[in-house]
Structure 1
Amino acid sequence: MKSLHDMSGRPASASVSLDRLFELAEVLGAMMQRGVAERGLTTARAGVLWALFHEGPMTQRALAGRLGVTPRNVTGLLDALQEDGLVVRQAHPTDRRATLVSLSAEGRTLTAELRGGRDGLAASLFADMTPDQLDAFTTSLAQVIERLKAVDPTGQP
């Protein structure tokens, strides 16, 4: 593991911390890409499934807004996911102009597998941290994320 100190032995600077965040983003991004590719997905399609898993059925327009993509883009993603049997589109029960999107049984199974992989990784990464250490780490990350969103108000990567 790389030292949290600079070359002179002083504690890490803000620049070193940012470098570590970039490294973390790279490593996690590559792991996520491999994990979804092993299941025949792209990261964009996995994002759709993840949003539906966490937030439940929603309209295509709401899904596009949640993902920060155009309605046309979400339509293409949903076409592919529906063809693979992972999502279901049906008429909205109260708005005849809208289409409601939800996970199919197969989509729920797949997202549960993804969540299981995430939970297993979390357990192995943080197994030796005390609850106080984990709380401090999580609080610090939340602070950094909020500051990044302030720099890029869209919150998009």
Structure 2
Amino acid sequence: MSAVNARDRHRALDLVLELVVLLNADMGRRLAADQLTPARAAVLWALRRRGPVTQRELAEALEVSARNITGLVDGLAGADLVSREPHPTDRRATLVTLTRRGTRLVETLEAEQREFAALLFADMPATRFHGLLDGLADVVGRLKAEGLKTHE
């Protein structure tokens, strides 16, 4: 297998950066339509994946301060997207839970993601798609190995 030359690596990075800018702009427009910020959306996604959790658990999962998560949850609660409920076993703690409205919004965002993925990849030949998938997995793995993190 031959090595990739520096010019092609630079072109690949340019394309990845352009993709990031395009996706970020698209995401910002979509979230703004529901008066969401990326940080508030991250809270909603975390609750969708994890279910009801304490604010401390949310702060740890999103790698933000307790003060920051309080402000985010306050804003989402004010928009009726999350609620705070008593913890069933720890009377000092409260659980943050998606409301019915919050669940519907996240479900809509998930459906839109599926539609967007179909738009992006539907006509791509399988071998090219799997090559892209493998390449992206390699890049993400390398970044994680270097200590960069994502909010999983």
Q: Distance in 2 between matches of 1:155 and 1:38?
A: 25
Separation of aligned partners in 1, 2:8 and 2:119: 28
Deviation (angstroms), 1:74:
0.4
| TM-score relative to the length of structure 2 | 0.88
Distance 1:148 1:138 in 2: 15
Superposition deviation, residue 11 in structure 1:
9.6
Of structures 1 and 2, the one with the larger relative CO (CA 8 A, separation 6+) is 2
Match of 2:31 in 1: 36
Q: Of 56, 70, 80, which residue of structure 1 is paired with 2:65?
A: 70
Among 16, 23, 42, the alignment partner of 2:18 is 23
Give the alignment partner of residue 147 of structure 1, picking from 138, 142, 152: 142
- Amino acid across the alignment from 1:108: T
Give the aligned CA root-mean-square deviation in angstroms: 1.8
Deviates more, 1:39-48 or 1:131-140: 131-140
Query: Which structure 2 residue ranges, 5 or more long, are not aligned?
Result: none
Per the alignment, in what secondary structure is the counterpart of residue 28 of structure 2? Answer: helix
Residue 136 of structure 1: which of 125, 131, 135 is its match?
131
Q: Which runs of 4+ in 1 moved over 6 A?
A: none
SS in 1 for 2:45: helix
Tell me the residue number matched to 1:90.
85
**TM-score normalised according to structure 1 size:** 0.85
- Once the 2 structures are TM-superposed, how far is the Cα of residue 152 of structure 1 from its aligned partner? 3.5
In 2, Cα distance between the equivalents of 1:59 and 1:23? 37
The percentage of aligned residue pairs carrying the same residue is 45
SS in 1 for 2:36: coil
Gaps of 5+ in 1: 1-9
Aligned length: 147
Which of 92-101 and 35-44 deviates more? Answer: 92-101
Task: Tell me what 2:116 maps to.
Answer: 121
Q: What CA distance in whole angstroms lies between the structure 2 residues aligned with 1:131 and 1:55?
A: 32
Letter of the structure 1 residue corresponding to residue 98 of structure 2: L
CA distance in 2, matches of 1:130, 1:56: 37
Secondary structure in structure 2 of the residue aligned to 1:13: helix
Distance 2:136 2:112 in 1: 21
